[in-house]
Amino acid sequence: MKHAKFSILLTFLVIQNSFSQITADNGQPRQSYIGASIGTALPIGAYADKNIYNTGAGFATMGLRFEGSIAKILQRYWGLALNYKNQTNNVDEQAFATQYAQKYGGNNWNVHCSPWKINAFLIGSYNAFPIGETKLVSLEMKLLFGMVRALTPQTELNGYWLNGLNTAQQNLSIADAFAFSGGLGLRFEVSKTMFFILQTDYFGANPKFNLQSVFPNPLGAPYSLNTSSQNISTLSFSLCFAYRIN
């Protein structure tokens, strides 16, 4: 997974640098904007894995993402972007219950989980290249780095095991980590001040959580404390509504 992330990052840098070498015309530079977007967040890799024997399995399902962004052109087609991401991904409770029963035994396990919650603040490079003679459509590219604050699900399981009703739970945990995002978008100008952007991006982070789990007494120790890394990777598809600020 680390090699895959490096390959994605390297490819994006090469593409971004290639576009930056395009000879500029005498038209107006692409203007800066402030925007808000909403879209889906598709978990990939370990974050989407549903194998309980994989300690990094996140059991995450398709989620919802809200974003706020400011993009400022500094020199012709290049500038800086600030970005805030708020994302939630629910847990596949049915898959988790099935896997839990297979690993620990028992039956009729009911699972209740709060969602994964992600908040990220990112800053980085922003490029906008006009397409066609009218310049009403532009290709946007962003490569951002920053910090993420992630919250694990609060999980509770209830089921019959060893002739009794038992409860197991894992408490919510919070962790901060480095994060990065690479994105592409098509911007369509609606008026002199308004436009919308169809965009997609890859988001990655690997926070380490201090987890507290409480088990049924027959399992031995009533609780455990451990540190676990969770690889969080998502592909997002969103629609941004933007207002020109220059």
Position 11 pLDDT exceeds 60 = no
Instruction: Give the max Cα distance, the chain.
Output: 79
* CA dist list (Å): 5 to 82, 185, 190, 233: 22, 20, 35, 9
What's the rounded Cα separation, in Å, for the pair 225 and 213?
Answer: 7
Beta strands in the chain (DSSP E): 33-43, 63-75, 78-89, 107-113, 116-131, 137-151, 155-161, 164-170, 174-189, 194-205, 208-214, 223-229, 232-244
Do the domain assignments include residue 187? yes
Position 31 pLDDT exceeds 80 = no
Each residue of 54-94: pLDDT tens digit? 988 999 999 999 999 999 999 888 999 999 999 999 999 99
Each residue of 202-245: pLDDT tens digit? 999 999 999 888 776 555 556 667 888 999 999 999 999 999 98
Do the domain assignments include residue 60? yes
At 181, which CATH number? 2.40.160.20
Position 26 pLDDT exceeds 70 = no
Do the domain assignments include residue 157? yes
Each residue of 97-112: pLDDT tens digit? 999 888 877 778 899 9
Q: State residue 17's pLDDT score.
A: 45
Position 23 pLDDT exceeds 60 = no
Q: State residue 218's pLDDT score.
A: 55
Do the domain assignments include residue 24? no
Each residue of 182-202: pLDDT tens digit? 999 999 999 889 999 999 999
State how many domains the chain has. Answer: 1
Position 16 pLDDT exceeds 70 = no
Each residue of 115-143: pLDDT tens digit? 999 999 999 999 999 998 877 899 999 99
For residue 238, what are the β-bridge partners?
A: 39, 199
**Contacts with 203 (C-beta within 8 Å, 6 or more apart), sequence order:** 41, 85, 87, 120, 179, 180, 181, 232, 233, 234, 235, 236
Name the residue range of residue 93's domain. Answer: 2-19+29-244
pLDDT bracket for residue 30 (50, 70, 90)? low
Q: State residue 216's pLDDT score.
A: 65
Look up the pTM and report it.
0.83
